Structure 1
Amino acid sequence: MDDRGHFISASVVDKNEANTIIPCTEASASRTSNSVPHPLFDKLMYVAGDFAKYCEEPKGTPYEDYMAQLSDWCESPAAHPKVKSVYTYLRKGTLMEDLIKYKVLWLDGQGKLADKWTEELENRYGKRPAIFKVSASDQSEAFVRFAVHVPGDVEPRLWRDMSVQNSFIQYYEMKLTDYDLCYVSGRELPYADKHASLKDQSKLISANDTKGFTFRGRFRTSREAAAVAYDVSQKAHNALKWLIDKQSFTIDGKVFLVWGTENLNVPDPFADSFTLYDHEDETQGIGDSTHKEFAKRIRMAINGYRYDGDYKSEVIVMVLDAATKGRMSIVYYRDMNKELFLNRLQYWHESCFWLHRYRKDSENRTVSFVGAPAARDIAFAAYGPQANDKVVKGLIERMLPCIIDGRKIPFDIVRSAIHRASNPVGMEEWEWEKTLSIACALVNKTYEKEGFDVSLDTNCQDRSYLFGRMLAIADRLERKALGREEKRATNAIRYMNAFAQRPMRTWTIIQAAIQPYQARMGTDANFYNRLLDEVGSQLQPEHFTDKPLSGLYLLGFYSQRHELSNFKKNNDTVEAMDNEDDEQEEI
């Protein structure tokens, strides 16, 4: 429109340009189903005086309420000439008619606004109009924004015009006359009766229960519980909303958020080690030197977030949850020194580590990495990929103290991961491999004082570790005898769960089952036979019982299997164990 309130043109806004800065009142920012208009830009039912002519008549008086509020702004000392132009045009009550004439809105056969685009309308009007391509609901829910063209003015868009924004701020400050002591700033400031919503219309601060009186017996009014100034509330809530949109993740309504006070970007404590350093495929054997290299890379990645002069910087870890619709609370809050946070995070990645092969690189290739699994992946290992979101969010919250406070991982989580890793027959191979490596990382963290590594510890005399090694040897022997063409599970894999519960009895069954394969391989089985004898000789007589194995058997199984898959051909002592294709088959 022009500066005299005359309609010029209209168009449908593309989704890429739909972001609109709008002025809001305290009531309109938190409106739900009530008729509470925004001061300038709003839906058709508020801004169109002829809305009822083309649509079902709305409840209440939205247009009258909107115009009364806009008129009050235009008559105030802070009035803006462009806003007056909008008021002059809307007072004519011809907005819907003009939009229809300009082919922005479309009517059906009865002269009403069409709810949706139908075949009948396509036959009448031709191709699908733009309004039906960008709007998720019917046309009556369209949002309207205004531009006023003034000669010599370079910014006609009111949502981008800073002078219009300042005009509303001045006007609204005049309307705020209810002062009270702000509990945040400690000053007498205009009181905020209603506060902004964060996610899904949920609020952190709310006290509208004037009938049930949830604060009865403690306070006479809600203000005695907490009084927050309007500008303080707006700044805090909008900053938190921006942070949530920028760098949080949400599971079943629970929001997990981490940020730095000086530098917003800090390492994500919920992520795995793969996200911290360069995504290089670790195809070489995993020995002590490789683990040292991994630890070095972790330190270098963490050090990238350090700054020597930034001594006062803090890191905030916050978890918000909506217990009921409309009510959100902070269920976890931790404010800690940035240096301490980085040290704790570094320790987590260096102590809860194992070799994993389930991540993808930029070219969608499976790559190996040594490090800690992500919190989501721990939930995957403990409860499976079909776990309920409520269970997953609960586990991630329980893992927070383990990551940033150095506490022990709850044993029920470790036990659940061990149990699932011991049932490979019930999963696809990729799922089991992922579960196995994550379970090994959790077990390694649980027994971190023993100093286990991915590389095989031939000096370890632990009963569970030795039994796990024997299981891996039996699995490898049978797999070599079957060849690449045979895809069925080996006896060691099929009896893995029973073996963890009753190792002596189950080993007798497995040993009998692999004898035909030993005979089939002939002298080629000598290496495996000698290895079985070597490991078995380390077991003491009192170890041969049916006492269930601890999670260390998974470490022995994984390390022994990994060691066998990385042997190189030596005609004097060792046969060729694997080539690249075989290793890929193991993955």
Structure 2
Amino acid sequence: MGLWQNLVVSYDKNTEALKKMYPLSTTSISNNGDKIVVIIIDGKGNFIRSRIIEKANRKKGVETEIITIPVTEKSLGRSSGVASHPVFDQFGYLKGDGKKYDDYLAQLQSFAESGFATDQIKAIYQYIEKRTVALDLAAIKPKDKTFVIFQVEMSKKPQTKVWEDESFFTAWHQYYLSTKEDARLLDYITGAEQSRAISHPKKISNASANSKLVSDNDTTNYTFRGKFTASLEAVSIGYESSQKAHQFLRYLINNRGYYCGEQVVLSFTVGFTEKLLPPPIEDESIWRFLQESSTETENDAQIDLHAETGIDYADTLKKTLEGFGYGKALTQHAKTAVIVLDAATAGRLSITFYRELDRNEYLEKIADWHDGCKWSLKLWDKKNKKYVLYIGAPSVDRIIEAVYGKPRGSKDESYIKIKKGARERLLRCIFDGAFLPTDYVVAAIRRASNPLGITGNGKFDRNGFERILATTCALVRKDYQQRNREGCELNIELDRTNRDYLYGRLLGAADKLEEYALYKKDSNRIVTAAIRHMQTFAQRPFRTWQTIHSCLNPYIQTVKGGFAFQEIEAIKNKFVSVADYEKDEPLNGSYLIGYYHERAYIDYLVKNVGKNEKLTEHNEQEGNNDGK
């Protein structure tokens, strides 16, 4: 099946769960742009009081409220003409005079006098025909475009808020279907005969509210002219199928959507509404996912170990998906779809990426991506206010930052455009097995090789540099694996004699040596010679190494005998030849991996080997004391 069939099937299988928030023949309004007026009446249409749902304002503690309202095809697409919504509408339609009121009253009367109307609808009609709305709301002074909704207080009806009553929306949809008098045609989504959709919904995505995914069969401009002589000759979509597909897509976007401007990325398992799958591109929810999975399977010692070394996300993902309900829950829902939607213009929403995979294939591709592109990464744990380690692929946004840098302000349109394209390219790497774009890898290496260009508050940002370095190492590792068919270890490779890798290790050891010396001197300076000369070092390593080494001379006596000093001497001896060491050609991305590995290795030596030596010394002293 295609996307449209999958959306309709999914809505049908989850009607009970969706009929309250996403009923058919409806749209939604909110208090984001203006206040909403609530008129409260009794069961006989008598005015009781009114109240206001204030305009959303986070600073004042007023949250956004989303309210579902019934619509017709014509009213949903209205712009400047008169086309009233059935029950809830703007004050300009309800205030009691003019063409708008006449249109609204006629439609409400038809609904109220039909066999589908509920007692609440009849009460609202009795109130509206009195033409007292403007008088009753005089103290509030609503604008013509302020929405007015109704609350009906009835003794045998506990649900007074009409917009939350499921029976109200069911009644409206059944009534509206009965009014569609056009001939039933073949619905190309389900293959059954339905009343055709004349106009399709907008407001699918909040980021592009006026954009439509399916254009209308207009009789003007260019919609079908040049291809057909009449709109009926084009592919027809049934009204109910269109409503179900759009409502389920709206549900997915609101609950699964990952936004970038007008672009939204999401995935779903056909026929299922619960969030049983990891998103196609990861964000900061990774750590929450890992915490939930690890606490179900591990003892305290394992959790402590992971806090120190980092959880392997790829491995945890595989185990979690198969072991903690994911696998079992999804056995009857075999298909998973990955979708990217984007609004190129204000009125057009397009599907720019769509893949339909078997459930196991989806899980394997996500896990394989995290396995092939994994590195030791840090995330900020907001709850505990500390950085935590995990081993996995960097998020797509972190990759984009490593390749392109950060945006120039919150509304950098050119950067948003770049992010949209990058997300689609990376999705193809994840789900199509495409190679990482070479330009991405090269750009990330260049950015990581220029640490002084990574700043925060006008100064070198060590944390930002380490974040970009780790992301770049993940990309280099993935690229090396794909193109050379060889793996790259996450931890230091002490026997590796590759020139690029060894020069990276030298740079890392020099960086650690000076960093430690500055720490002992209680210096606030964080820019070492290794950092200062890194960009030049990547192009002319042998010549630049002499410069860096000379900068270390003042510190060598301070830390002589330390791990960093010992490592520098040991690494020099690992070059296969003097000629290899003295070759002054540019380094490839392996040098960054060597740099990262060496810094991490020295940290390990300081923390573990140093601790063991102190323990041995303490035990020897204890033994001597016992012998006295």
Q: Give your verdict on TM over 0.5.
A: yes
Q: 1:430 to 1:93 in 2, by over 3 A?
A: same
> How far apart in 2 are the matches of 1:79 and 1:311?
39
Q: Is the 8 A contact 1:282 1:368 kept in 2?
A: no
* Residues 285/450 of structure 1: CA separation in 2 closer, same or farther (3 Å cut): farther
* Structure 2 equivalent of residue 536 of structure 1: 572
Distance 1:564 1:88, change over 3 A: same
Q: 1:73 to 1:144 in 2, by over 3 A?
A: same
- After TM superposition, the structure 1 stretch with the greater mean CA deviation from structure 2, 531-540 or 209-218, is 209-218
Q: CA deviation at 1:436?
A: 0.6
Partner residue, 1:581? none
Tell me if structure 2 keeps the 8 A contact 1:358–1:434.
Answer: no
Asked if 1:189 is matched to 2:194, the reply is: yes
Name the SS of the counterpart of 2:42 in structure 1.
Answer: coil
Question: How far apart are the structure 2 equivalents of 1:151 and 1:574?
Answer: 81
Query: Residue by residue, what CA displacement relative to the aligned partner does 1:109-129 show, whole Å, maximum 9, x if unpaired?
Result: xxxx4xxxxxxxxxxxxxxxx
Residues 207 and 222, structure 1, Cα contact 8 Å, conserved in 2? no
Say if 2:542 and 2:582, in contact at 8 Å, map to a contact too. Answer: yes
Counterpart position of 1:556: 594
- Once the two structures are superposed, the pairs formed by residues 152-551 of structure 1 within 5 Å of their partners are 152-179=156-183, 180-197=185-202, 198-199=204-205, 200-207=209-216, 210-264=219-273, 265=275, 266-271=277-282, 274-278=287-291, 296-303=315-322, 304=324, 305-307=326-328, 310=331, 312-386=333-407, 388-427=415-454, 428-448=461-481, 449-484=485-520, 485-486=522-523, 487-518=525-556, 520-521=557-558, 523-524=560-561, 528-539=564-575, 540=577, 541-551=579-589
> In the superposition, relative to structure 1, how do residues 423 and 258 fare at CA in structure 2: closer, same or farther (>3 Å)?
same
- Cα offset, 1:575, TM superposition: 10
Q: Is the 8 A contact 1:302 1:346 kept in 2?
A: no
Q: In structure 2, do the counterparts of structure 1 residues 315 and 284 end up closer, same or farther at CA, with 3 Å as the change threshold? A: closer
Q: CA deviation at 1:216?
A: 3.3
Deviations 1:60-116 (A, max 9, x none): 72212111222232344444454333223222222121123xx5x1xxxxxxx4xxx
Give, in angstroms, the shift of residue 163 of structure 1. 4.6
Task: State which drifts further: 501-510 or 67-76.
Answer: 67-76
1:315-353: CA deviations, max 9, x gaps?
110001111101101111111000111111111111211
The 3 A distance-change label for structure 1 pair 478 and 3 is closer
Give the SS at the match of 1:172. Answer: helix
Question: Structure 1 CA distance, aligned partners of 2:612 and 2:240?
Answer: 78
Residue 16 (structure 1) shift: 6.6
Letter in 1 for 2:47: F
Give yes or no for contact 2:266–2:280 (8 Å, CA) kept in 1. Answer: no
Distance in 2 (alpha carbons) for counterparts of 1:141 and 1:149: 26
- Partners of 1:24 and 1:85 lie apart in 2 by 19
TM-score between both structures, scaled by the size of structure 1: 0.82
Match of 1:54 in 2: none
Deviation for aligned residue 1:238: 0.6
Report what 2:45 is aligned to. 5
State the SS of the aligned residue for 1:567. Answer: helix
Partner-residue secondary structure (3-state), 1:277: helix
Q: Which runs of 5+ in 1 are unaligned?
A: 51-59, 106-112, 114-137, 577-587
In the TM superposition, 1:562-573 aligns within 5 A as 562-568=600-606
Cα distance change, pair 431–2 in 1 and its aligned pair in 2 (3 A): same
Deviation sequence 1:539-558 (CA, Å, 0-9, x none): 23145323211111010000
- Answer 1 or 2: which has greater strand percent: 2
Alignment of 1:102-141 (within 5 A): 103=139, 105=140, 113=141, 139-141=143-145
Q: Tell me which residue corresponds to 2:619.
A: none
* Contact 1:39-1:69 at 8 Å conserved across structures: yes
In structure 2, how many angstroms separate the alpha carbons of the residues matched to 1:308 and 1:376?
Answer: 30
**Quick one: percent identity of the two aligned structures?**
34
How far residue 139 of structure 1 moved from its aligned partner, in angstroms, is: 4.5
The worse-fitting range, judged by mean Cα deviation, of 188-197 and 450-459 is: 450-459
Q: TM-score, normalised by structure 2?
A: 0.77
1:197-219 residue CA offsets vs partner (Å, 9 max, x unmatched):
11212111113554432533322
The question of whether the paired residues in 2 share the 8 Å contact of 1:262 and 1:313 is answered with no
Amino acid at match of 1:499: F
- Partner in structure 1 of residue 618 of structure 2: none
* Partner Cα separation in structure 2 for residue 2 and residue 530 of structure 1: 87
In the alignment, is the contact (CA less than 8 A) between 1:422 and 1:497 conserved in 2?
Answer: yes
